[in-house]
A = this chain, B = another copy of it.
């Protein structure tokens, strides 16, 4: 099992949380997604490590951004 944490920028409400959770949760191998709205914290749990680029792309697909480069 693998866990990775990110910070998502731009979420303002619970609908935003749902959008990110859905997109990231749809990535292959992801078993659990936890999002904290106030901090932007995103925790991704998966069977095997998930490519950071894939997580970033999923967050962007939802309409937000992962902080940092």
- A residues sitting closer than 8 Å to B (CB atoms) are 12-16, 18-19, 63
Contacts of A14 in B (CB 8 A): 63
Jot down 10 A-B pairs with beta carbons below 8 A, ordered by A.
A12-B12, A12-B13, A13-B13, A13-B15, A13-B16, A14-B63, A15-B15, A15-B16, A15-B18, A15-B19
Copies of this chain held together in the complex:
2
Nearest residue (CB) in B for A14 is B63
Q: For the complex formed, measure the closest distance between the CB of A28 and the CB atoms of chain B, giving whole angstroms.
A: 26
Nearest residue (CB) in B for A18 is B15
- CA of A12 to CA of B13, assembled, Å: 7
Contacts of A63 in B (CB 8 A): 14
